Amino acid sequence: MCNGISVVIISIAHDCLVRAIDSVFSQRNTGNIQVLVGICIDKNGNANSLKKLIESKCPSNASITWVDIVGSRFFDHSGVHELEHVESLRIELTFLAKYRYVMYLDDNDWLDEFHCEDMLKCIVHNVWSFAYFVFIDDNSGRRKFFDLFDSVGLGSERDKGKSGRSVRLSGVMLDKTKLSHILHLWSVWPLSVVDGEYNIIFNQLKQYPHGFSGKGSIFCSVDPENTLCHGIL
């Protein structure tokens, strides 16, 4: 029986981080929630005020682990890993997570209130789970579009012959007790590939049993004129 989940968010301290974490706080039927926030860049000097605001909203079933590496001597950016400043922070937070099931969320995305419950149901007898990613019309906030480029689903017709990943890793949940041996790959970045570290992780994940909710439950605002926004949900 699951007694809680951990959610890892890497952020540059934009205001949208509040919306992302609000959606985590609003999750239904998940038990305890540990939110691990890694601030890799404090772009506008907002990190401290965001931290105070988010802590004031934290419900009784949730806790916040806040790691701000901006200016930290611990991360001197001269190590052997290509992405020690940003993506490898995701590794540290994953191992700091106190729950078996860890979900990743980008700071400009947000979740349907039943997303984590769905992921927990899907991960039973599997080691990771995912859902469809949906763009929200930035103008009206109402129209919804599937991401038909990076979120087509494993084994779908659109996935056949596709290079790169077919599942966005924002919103993905994994069993870290079964996949700890691949987590170091977050710090590997082939310079010739856009989002290369995501593709490397995904190429490993797809070799393991996975669950799929069949729902569009991870959201991001986008201009509807963007060429990726085809196919109304």
Q: Tell me how far apart the alpha carbons of residues 31 and 22 are, in angstroms, rounded to a whole number.
A: 16
Residue 67 maps to a domain: yes
Residue 35 falls inside a structural domain: yes
Domain assignment present for residue 147? The answer is no
Q: What is the pTM of this model?
A: 0.84
- In this structure, is residue 163 part of a structural domain? no
Specify the number of domains making up the chain.
Answer: 1
Return left, alpha or beta for 114; rule: phi > 0 is left, psi -120 to 50 is alpha, else beta: alpha
The pLDDT > 70 percentage for the chain reads: 70
Say what the pLDDT of residue 233 is: 40
Of the candidate ranges 39-48, 52-61, 149-158, the one whose mean pLDDT is the lowest: 149-158
Q: Does residue 104 form part of some domain?
A: yes
Position 220 confidence tier, pLDDT thresholds 50, 70, 90: confident
Say if residue 25 is exposed, middle or buried (CB neighbours under 10 Å; 0-12, 13-18, 19+).
middle
Residue 143: inside a domain: no
What pLDDT digit, counting tens, does each position of 134-188 carry?
Answer: 878 766 666 566 656 555 555 544 444 444 445 778 899 999 999 999 988 877 7
Q: Are 10 and 21 in contact (CB under 8 A)?
A: no
* Most trustworthy range by pLDDT among 68-72, 84-88, 145-149: 68-72
Q: How much of the chain exceeds pLDDT 90, in percent?
A: 47
Counting every residue written for the chain, the total comes to: 233
Q: What pLDDT score was predicted for residue 80?
A: 57
Range of the domain at 48: 4-130+168-211
Q: What integer is the mean pLDDT of 119-125?
A: 95
pLDDT at residue 223 in the model: 66
- Where is pLDDT greater, at 87 or 205? 205
98 belongs to a structural domain? yes
Q: CATH number, domain at 179?
A: 3.90.550.10
Say what the pLDDT of residue 200 is.
79
Residue 119 resides in a domain: yes
Check whether 93 has a pLDDT greater than 90. yes
- Closest C-alpha to 171, from 107, 76, 95: 107
63 pLDDT higher than 80: yes
